[in-house]
Amino acid sequence: MASRLGVSMQTLGLLIVIVILAGVAAYGWVRAPSVVTQTVTVPGAAQATQTVTSYVTVTASPAAGAVSPLSQLKVGLILPIDETDLSWNYAAWYAVTKLQEIYGFDLSIHRQLFDGTKAEPVAIDLARRGYDVIILQGIQYMEMAQKIAPQFPKTLFVCVDCFQIGAPNVYNIWMTLEEGAFVLGIAAGLLTKSNVIGLIGGGRVPSIWAGHEAFKAGVLLVNPNVRFLEYYAPLSWADVAGARRAAESFIAQGADVIFSSGDGIDVGVSLAASERKVWFTTVYVDIPRIKPMDTLLGSIVFNWDVVFSKALIDKVTDNWRYGFLTATMASGIIKVSFGPNVPEDVKNRALRYQNMILMGLLKIYFDVDPVKGVFKCFDNPDLPECKPTAAKVTFKG
Protein backbone atom coordinates (compact mmCIF):
# COMPACT_ATOMS: atom_id res chain seq x y z
CA MET A 1 0.00 0.00 0.00
CA ALA A 2 2.75 2.41 0.91
CA SER A 3 4.54 1.85 -2.39
CA ARG A 4 1.40 2.85 -4.28
CA LEU A 5 1.12 6.01 -2.27
CA GLY A 6 4.70 6.81 -3.28
CA VAL A 7 5.77 10.38 -3.74
CA SER A 8 2.21 11.61 -4.04
CA MET A 9 2.10 11.43 -0.25
CA GLN A 10 2.43 14.75 1.50
CA THR A 11 6.01 15.48 2.42
CA LEU A 12 7.11 14.03 5.77
CA GLY A 13 9.14 16.82 7.24
CA LEU A 14 11.07 17.80 4.11
CA LEU A 15 10.90 21.50 4.94
CA ILE A 16 14.64 21.86 5.25
CA VAL A 17 15.52 20.11 2.01
CA ILE A 18 12.77 21.95 0.14
CA VAL A 19 14.35 25.22 1.20
CA ILE A 20 17.67 24.10 -0.27
CA LEU A 21 16.21 22.41 -3.35
CA ALA A 22 16.95 25.15 -5.85
CA GLY A 23 20.56 25.52 -4.82
CA VAL A 24 21.29 21.82 -4.65
CA ALA A 25 19.70 21.03 -7.99
CA ALA A 26 21.88 23.65 -9.61
CA TYR A 27 25.18 22.08 -8.64
CA GLY A 28 26.53 23.15 -5.19
CA TRP A 29 25.92 21.39 -1.96
CA VAL A 30 24.58 22.36 1.43
CA ARG A 31 26.47 23.43 4.52
CA ALA A 32 25.33 24.16 8.07
CA PRO A 33 25.56 27.84 9.04
CA SER A 34 25.76 26.96 12.71
CA VAL A 35 26.45 23.71 14.49
CA VAL A 36 26.26 22.63 18.10
CA THR A 37 28.88 20.16 19.28
CA GLN A 38 27.98 18.14 22.36
CA THR A 39 29.54 15.34 24.36
CA VAL A 40 26.99 12.61 24.86
CA THR A 41 26.82 9.25 26.62
CA VAL A 42 24.81 6.52 24.98
CA PRO A 43 24.00 3.07 26.34
CA GLY A 44 26.83 0.61 25.99
CA ALA A 45 29.34 3.15 24.71
CA ALA A 46 31.85 5.64 25.97
CA GLN A 47 31.31 9.35 25.53
CA ALA A 48 31.24 10.51 21.94
CA THR A 49 31.09 13.85 20.20
CA GLN A 50 28.09 14.60 18.03
CA THR A 51 27.12 17.46 15.78
CA VAL A 52 23.49 18.57 15.83
CA THR A 53 22.24 20.70 12.97
CA SER A 54 18.91 22.46 12.77
CA TYR A 55 19.21 24.54 9.60
CA VAL A 56 21.15 24.26 6.37
CA THR A 57 21.96 26.72 3.61
CA VAL A 58 23.47 26.63 0.13
CA THR A 59 27.08 27.38 -0.68
CA ALA A 60 28.04 29.49 -3.66
CA SER A 61 27.39 27.53 -6.84
CA PRO A 62 30.35 26.31 -8.87
CA ALA A 63 30.90 27.52 -12.40
CA ALA A 64 28.28 26.71 -15.00
CA GLY A 65 28.50 23.10 -16.15
CA ALA A 66 29.81 21.78 -12.83
CA VAL A 67 28.22 18.70 -11.28
CA SER A 68 27.06 18.42 -7.69
CA PRO A 69 29.16 15.94 -5.72
CA LEU A 70 25.93 14.73 -4.13
CA SER A 71 24.63 13.65 -7.53
CA GLN A 72 27.73 11.49 -8.02
CA LEU A 73 27.10 9.37 -4.94
CA LYS A 74 26.04 5.75 -5.00
CA VAL A 75 23.71 5.12 -2.04
CA GLY A 76 22.37 1.83 -0.73
CA LEU A 77 19.48 1.38 1.73
CA ILE A 78 19.04 -1.86 3.70
CA LEU A 79 15.65 -2.39 5.33
CA PRO A 80 14.67 -5.08 7.85
CA ILE A 81 11.17 -5.37 6.38
CA ASP A 82 9.74 -3.09 3.65
CA GLU A 83 7.96 0.21 3.19
CA THR A 84 4.44 -1.25 3.31
CA ASP A 85 4.58 -1.12 7.13
CA LEU A 86 3.81 2.63 7.09
CA SER A 87 6.24 2.87 10.00
CA TRP A 88 10.01 2.41 10.52
CA ASN A 89 10.75 1.06 7.05
CA TYR A 90 8.39 3.40 5.23
CA ALA A 91 9.89 6.47 6.92
CA ALA A 92 13.41 5.54 5.80
CA TRP A 93 12.34 4.53 2.29
CA TYR A 94 10.34 7.72 1.80
CA ALA A 95 13.12 10.00 3.02
CA VAL A 96 15.82 8.38 0.90
CA THR A 97 13.72 8.29 -2.28
CA LYS A 98 12.81 11.96 -1.86
CA LEU A 99 16.46 12.89 -1.36
CA GLN A 100 17.34 10.84 -4.44
CA GLU A 101 14.88 12.93 -6.46
CA ILE A 102 16.42 16.13 -5.16
CA TYR A 103 20.12 15.25 -5.25
CA GLY A 104 20.12 12.82 -8.19
CA PHE A 105 22.36 10.12 -6.72
CA ASP A 106 22.21 6.44 -7.69
CA LEU A 107 20.05 4.47 -5.23
CA SER A 108 19.75 0.76 -4.53
CA ILE A 109 17.16 -0.49 -1.99
CA HIS A 110 17.25 -3.94 -0.37
CA ARG A 111 14.33 -5.25 1.69
CA GLN A 112 13.41 -8.09 4.04
CA LEU A 113 16.87 -8.35 5.59
CA PHE A 114 15.73 -8.65 9.17
CA ASP A 115 19.08 -9.11 10.91
CA GLY A 116 22.79 -8.58 10.46
CA THR A 117 23.37 -12.15 9.28
CA LYS A 118 21.00 -11.68 6.34
CA ALA A 119 22.16 -8.16 5.61
CA GLU A 120 25.92 -8.76 5.74
CA PRO A 121 26.41 -10.32 2.26
CA VAL A 122 24.26 -7.59 0.72
CA ALA A 123 26.19 -4.81 2.45
CA ILE A 124 29.51 -6.39 1.42
CA ASP A 125 28.36 -6.68 -2.19
CA LEU A 126 27.32 -3.01 -2.25
CA ALA A 127 30.64 -1.91 -0.77
CA ARG A 128 32.61 -4.02 -3.26
CA ARG A 129 30.66 -2.41 -6.08
CA GLY A 130 31.81 1.01 -4.97
CA TYR A 131 28.78 2.31 -3.07
CA ASP A 132 29.75 5.47 -1.22
CA VAL A 133 27.05 5.37 1.48
CA ILE A 134 25.15 2.35 2.82
CA ILE A 135 22.26 3.14 5.17
CA LEU A 136 21.52 0.36 7.65
CA GLN A 137 18.05 0.94 9.08
CA GLY A 138 18.15 -0.65 12.51
CA ILE A 139 20.10 -1.55 15.64
CA GLN A 140 20.15 -5.19 14.49
CA TYR A 141 22.86 -4.16 12.00
CA MET A 142 25.14 -2.48 14.56
CA GLU A 143 27.58 -5.34 15.18
CA MET A 144 27.64 -6.25 11.51
CA ALA A 145 28.51 -2.68 10.56
CA GLN A 146 31.45 -2.58 12.95
CA LYS A 147 32.61 -5.96 11.63
CA ILE A 148 32.71 -5.19 7.91
CA ALA A 149 33.37 -1.42 7.87
CA PRO A 150 37.17 -1.75 8.31
CA GLN A 151 37.28 -3.80 5.10
CA PHE A 152 35.83 -0.88 3.11
CA PRO A 153 37.36 2.34 4.52
CA LYS A 154 36.05 4.49 1.65
CA THR A 155 32.43 3.47 2.25
CA LEU A 156 30.33 5.29 4.83
CA PHE A 157 28.02 2.98 6.78
CA VAL A 158 25.13 4.95 8.30
CA CYS A 159 23.77 2.86 11.18
CA VAL A 160 20.38 4.04 12.45
CA ASP A 161 19.47 3.51 16.12
CA CYS A 162 23.08 2.54 16.78
CA PHE A 163 25.65 3.71 19.31
CA GLN A 164 28.74 1.50 19.20
CA ILE A 165 31.92 3.52 18.66
CA GLY A 166 34.55 1.65 16.69
CA ALA A 167 35.25 1.89 12.97
CA PRO A 168 35.66 5.54 11.88
CA ASN A 169 33.49 4.98 8.80
CA VAL A 170 30.42 3.91 10.79
CA TYR A 171 28.18 6.97 11.17
CA ASN A 172 25.88 6.34 14.13
CA ILE A 173 22.37 7.77 14.37
CA TRP A 174 21.05 7.49 17.93
CA MET A 175 17.26 7.50 17.95
CA THR A 176 15.45 9.12 20.87
CA LEU A 177 11.81 8.18 21.35
CA GLU A 178 11.52 9.68 24.80
CA GLU A 179 10.62 13.29 23.93
CA GLY A 180 7.78 12.40 21.59
CA ALA A 181 6.63 9.56 23.82
CA PHE A 182 6.48 11.91 26.81
CA VAL A 183 4.24 14.34 24.89
CA LEU A 184 1.91 11.53 23.82
CA GLY A 185 1.92 10.33 27.42
CA ILE A 186 0.55 13.69 28.56
CA ALA A 187 -2.36 13.30 26.16
CA ALA A 188 -2.91 9.66 27.11
CA GLY A 189 -3.02 10.49 30.80
CA LEU A 190 -5.68 13.12 30.15
CA LEU A 191 -7.77 10.93 27.82
CA THR A 192 -7.93 7.65 29.74
CA LYS A 193 -11.15 6.97 31.59
CA SER A 194 -10.30 3.51 32.90
CA ASN A 195 -6.86 4.52 34.21
CA VAL A 196 -5.41 1.41 32.55
CA ILE A 197 -2.94 1.96 29.71
CA GLY A 198 -1.04 -0.62 27.66
CA LEU A 199 2.41 -0.38 26.05
CA ILE A 200 3.48 -2.77 23.27
CA GLY A 201 6.96 -2.80 21.73
CA GLY A 202 9.02 -4.80 19.28
CA GLY A 203 12.43 -5.63 20.66
CA ARG A 204 13.34 -4.49 24.16
CA VAL A 205 16.34 -2.43 23.06
CA PRO A 206 17.54 0.74 24.83
CA SER A 207 15.88 3.27 22.52
CA ILE A 208 12.48 1.52 22.52
CA TRP A 209 12.64 0.94 26.28
CA ALA A 210 13.46 4.63 26.88
CA GLY A 211 10.41 5.61 24.82
CA HIS A 212 8.16 3.38 26.91
CA GLU A 213 9.52 4.77 30.16
CA ALA A 214 9.16 8.39 29.03
CA PHE A 215 5.59 7.73 27.89
CA LYS A 216 4.83 6.47 31.41
CA ALA A 217 6.42 9.61 32.87
CA GLY A 218 4.17 11.83 30.74
CA VAL A 219 1.08 9.89 31.75
CA LEU A 220 1.93 9.97 35.46
CA LEU A 221 2.69 13.69 35.43
CA VAL A 222 -0.96 14.48 34.71
CA ASN A 223 -2.60 11.32 36.06
CA PRO A 224 -0.79 9.50 38.88
CA ASN A 225 -3.60 6.93 39.20
CA VAL A 226 -2.84 5.08 35.96
CA ARG A 227 -1.85 1.40 35.98
CA PHE A 228 0.34 0.11 33.11
CA LEU A 229 0.28 -3.17 31.19
CA GLU A 230 3.41 -3.80 29.10
CA TYR A 231 4.56 -6.31 26.50
CA TYR A 232 7.67 -6.60 24.32
CA ALA A 233 7.68 -8.94 21.34
CA PRO A 234 11.02 -10.81 21.54
CA LEU A 235 12.99 -8.81 18.96
CA SER A 236 10.19 -9.30 16.49
CA TRP A 237 9.11 -5.95 15.09
CA ALA A 238 7.29 -7.76 12.29
CA ASP A 239 4.97 -9.69 14.63
CA VAL A 240 1.65 -8.14 13.60
CA ALA A 241 -0.40 -11.05 14.94
CA GLY A 242 1.42 -11.11 18.29
CA ALA A 243 0.99 -7.36 18.77
CA ARG A 244 -2.68 -7.63 17.94
CA ARG A 245 -3.17 -10.42 20.48
CA ALA A 246 -1.33 -8.42 23.15
CA ALA A 247 -3.47 -5.35 22.43
CA GLU A 248 -6.67 -7.37 22.59
CA SER A 249 -5.55 -8.87 25.90
CA PHE A 250 -4.81 -5.43 27.35
CA ILE A 251 -8.15 -4.08 26.15
CA ALA A 252 -9.90 -7.04 27.80
CA GLN A 253 -8.14 -6.04 31.04
CA GLY A 254 -9.55 -2.52 30.80
CA ALA A 255 -6.94 -0.59 28.83
CA ASP A 256 -8.46 2.27 26.85
CA VAL A 257 -5.14 3.62 25.48
CA ILE A 258 -2.37 1.54 23.82
CA PHE A 259 1.09 2.96 23.16
CA SER A 260 2.88 1.21 20.29
CA SER A 261 6.51 1.54 19.21
CA GLY A 262 6.78 0.83 15.53
CA ASP A 263 6.84 -1.45 12.49
CA GLY A 264 4.44 -4.39 12.39
CA ILE A 265 3.75 -3.76 16.08
CA ASP A 266 2.00 -0.54 15.06
CA VAL A 267 -0.04 -2.46 12.50
CA GLY A 268 -1.23 -5.09 14.96
CA VAL A 269 -2.06 -2.54 17.65
CA SER A 270 -3.92 -0.27 15.24
CA LEU A 271 -6.06 -3.16 13.99
CA ALA A 272 -7.10 -4.22 17.49
CA ALA A 273 -7.55 -0.71 18.86
CA SER A 274 -9.56 0.53 15.88
CA GLU A 275 -11.96 -2.39 16.13
CA ARG A 276 -12.40 -2.01 19.90
CA LYS A 277 -12.59 1.81 19.70
CA VAL A 278 -9.73 2.58 22.10
CA TRP A 279 -7.00 5.19 21.67
CA PHE A 280 -3.67 4.10 20.18
CA THR A 281 -0.40 5.61 18.98
CA THR A 282 2.10 4.96 16.19
CA VAL A 283 5.73 5.86 15.59
CA TYR A 284 7.95 7.19 12.75
CA VAL A 285 5.40 8.21 10.09
CA ASP A 286 2.80 11.01 10.19
CA ILE A 287 -0.16 8.62 10.19
CA PRO A 288 -2.68 11.33 11.23
CA ARG A 289 -1.88 13.03 7.93
CA ILE A 290 -1.74 10.10 5.55
CA LYS A 291 -4.19 7.66 7.14
CA PRO A 292 -6.29 9.34 9.86
CA MET A 293 -8.25 6.94 12.04
CA ASP A 294 -11.00 7.68 14.57
CA THR A 295 -9.19 6.54 17.72
CA LEU A 296 -5.66 7.47 16.66
CA LEU A 297 -4.18 9.46 19.53
CA GLY A 298 -1.10 10.51 17.56
CA SER A 299 2.24 9.65 16.01
CA ILE A 300 5.86 10.37 16.86
CA VAL A 301 7.09 11.53 13.45
CA PHE A 302 10.74 11.10 12.43
CA ASN A 303 12.02 13.27 9.58
CA TRP A 304 14.83 10.97 8.46
CA ASP A 305 15.53 13.23 5.47
CA VAL A 306 17.30 15.64 7.86
CA VAL A 307 19.49 12.83 9.21
CA PHE A 308 20.31 11.22 5.88
CA SER A 309 20.95 14.54 4.16
CA LYS A 310 23.42 15.48 6.89
CA ALA A 311 25.29 12.18 6.48
CA LEU A 312 25.46 12.55 2.68
CA ILE A 313 26.72 16.12 3.00
CA ASP A 314 29.33 15.05 5.53
CA LYS A 315 30.49 12.38 3.09
CA VAL A 316 31.05 14.72 0.15
CA THR A 317 32.63 17.41 2.34
CA ASP A 318 34.99 14.86 3.94
CA ASN A 319 33.56 15.44 7.42
CA TRP A 320 32.19 11.97 8.07
CA ARG A 321 34.68 10.08 10.23
CA TYR A 322 33.24 8.99 13.58
CA GLY A 323 29.97 10.70 12.67
CA PHE A 324 27.38 10.70 15.43
CA LEU A 325 23.99 12.40 15.30
CA THR A 326 21.19 12.22 17.86
CA ALA A 327 17.64 12.44 16.53
CA THR A 328 15.88 14.96 18.79
CA MET A 329 13.07 17.50 18.63
CA ALA A 330 15.51 20.41 18.84
CA SER A 331 17.41 19.20 15.78
CA GLY A 332 14.23 19.28 13.69
CA ILE A 333 14.08 15.51 13.27
CA ILE A 334 11.19 14.62 15.60
CA LYS A 335 7.73 16.03 16.23
CA VAL A 336 4.37 14.81 17.51
CA SER A 337 1.34 14.76 15.23
CA PHE A 338 -2.07 14.29 16.88
CA GLY A 339 -5.01 12.29 15.57
CA PRO A 340 -8.12 13.98 14.14
CA ASN A 341 -10.38 13.36 17.12
CA VAL A 342 -8.13 14.31 20.01
CA PRO A 343 -9.92 17.12 21.91
CA GLU A 344 -8.35 20.53 21.41
CA ASP A 345 -7.80 21.12 25.11
CA VAL A 346 -5.90 17.84 25.44
CA LYS A 347 -3.86 18.53 22.32
CA ASN A 348 -2.99 22.07 23.41
CA ARG A 349 -1.90 20.97 26.86
CA ALA A 350 0.35 18.25 25.43
CA LEU A 351 1.83 20.67 22.89
CA ARG A 352 2.72 23.06 25.69
CA TYR A 353 5.03 20.37 27.03
CA GLN A 354 6.46 19.83 23.55
CA ASN A 355 7.23 23.56 23.37
CA MET A 356 8.92 23.36 26.76
CA ILE A 357 11.16 20.61 25.42
CA LEU A 358 12.02 22.69 22.35
CA MET A 359 12.81 25.70 24.52
CA GLY A 360 15.05 23.69 26.82
CA LEU A 361 12.72 24.17 29.79
CA LEU A 362 11.96 20.46 30.19
CA LYS A 363 14.50 17.66 30.14
CA ILE A 364 13.91 13.91 30.17
CA TYR A 365 16.83 11.75 31.25
CA PHE A 366 17.77 8.37 32.70
CA ASP A 367 20.25 7.35 35.37
CA VAL A 368 23.38 5.87 33.80
CA ASP A 369 25.60 3.27 35.44
CA PRO A 370 28.92 5.14 35.82
CA VAL A 371 30.98 1.97 35.37
CA LYS A 372 29.14 0.24 32.54
CA GLY A 373 27.98 3.44 30.81
CA VAL A 374 24.51 2.00 30.21
CA PHE A 375 21.02 2.92 31.40
CA LYS A 376 20.91 1.71 34.99
CA CYS A 377 17.28 0.62 34.94
CA PHE A 378 17.45 -1.05 31.53
CA ASP A 379 19.43 -3.95 33.00
CA ASN A 380 17.89 -3.68 36.48
CA PRO A 381 14.20 -2.81 35.99
CA ASP A 382 13.17 -4.12 39.42
CA LEU A 383 15.20 -1.60 41.40
CA PRO A 384 12.93 0.60 43.55
CA GLU A 385 14.14 3.77 41.80
CA CYS A 386 13.04 2.30 38.47
CA LYS A 387 9.38 2.13 39.46
CA PRO A 388 6.84 3.17 38.26
CA THR A 389 9.10 4.61 35.55
CA ALA A 390 12.83 4.95 35.05
CA ALA A 391 12.46 8.29 33.23
CA LYS A 392 13.42 11.40 35.17
CA VAL A 393 11.89 14.78 34.30
CA THR A 394 13.33 18.15 35.31
CA PHE A 395 11.93 21.63 34.70
CA LYS A 396 13.64 24.99 34.43
CA GLY A 397 11.95 28.19 35.51
DSSP letters, 116-137, are HHHHHHHHHHHHHTT-SEEEEE
Per-residue confidence (pLDDT) for residue 124, from 0 to 100: 98
Judged on CB neighbours under 10 Å (0-12, 13-18, 19+), 4 is exposed
* Cα-Cα-Cα-Cα dihedral sign, residues 9, 14, 19, 23: negative
Instruction: Check if the beta carbon of residue 391 is closer than 8 Å to that of residue 382.
Output: no
Enumerate the β-bridge partners of residue 157.
134, 170
Enumerate the β-bridge partners of residue 76.
108, 134
CA–CA distance from 309 to each of 113, 332, 334 (Å)?
Answer: 23, 13, 15
Per-residue confidence (pLDDT) for residue 235, from 0 to 100: 65
Global pTM value: 0.80
Calculate ∠ Cα 67-30-6, nearest 5°: 85
Q: Where are the alpha helices (DSSP H) in the chain?
A: 2-5, 15-25, 88-103, 116-128, 142-148, 178-191, 206-222, 240-252, 263-276, 287-290, 304-316, 344-358, 376-379
Q: Does domain 181-302+335-395 have CATH number 3.40.50.2300?
A: yes
- Ordered by start, the domain boundaries in the chain are 2-176+303-327, 181-302+335-395
* Cα-Cα-Cα-Cα dihedral sign, residues 24, 87, 44, 55: positive
CA–CA distance from 310 to each of 19, 26, 54, 264, 391 (Å)?
Answer: 14, 18, 10, 28, 29
Per-residue confidence (pLDDT) for residue 372, from 0 to 100: 80
Q: What is the three-class DSSP state of 355?
A: helix
Instruction: Check if the beta carbon of residue 164 is closer than 8 Å to that of residue 143.
Output: yes
Per-residue confidence (pLDDT) for residue 42, from 0 to 100: 40
For 2-176+303-327, CATH number out of 3.90.1150.10, 3.40.50.720, 3.30.413.10, 3.40.50.2300 equals 3.40.50.2300
- Per-residue model confidence as pLDDT tens for the chain (397 residues): 333 233 333 333 333 333 333 333 332 333 333 333 333 334 434 333 333 333 333 333 344 445 689 999 999 999 999 998 888 999 999 999 999 999 999 999 999 998 899 999 999 999 999 999 999 999 999 999 999 999 999 999 999 999 999 999 999 999 899 999 999 999 999 999 999 999 999 888 888 999 999 999 999 999 999 999 999 987 677 788 999 999 999 999 999 999 998 788 898 999 999 999 999 999 999 999 988 899 999 999 999 999 999 999 999 999 999 999 998 998 889 999 999 999 999 999 999 999 999 999 999 999 998 888 789 999 999 999 999 999 999 998 6
* Fold match, 2-176+303-327 / 181-302+335-395: yes
Per-residue confidence (pLDDT) for residue 239, from 0 to 100: 85
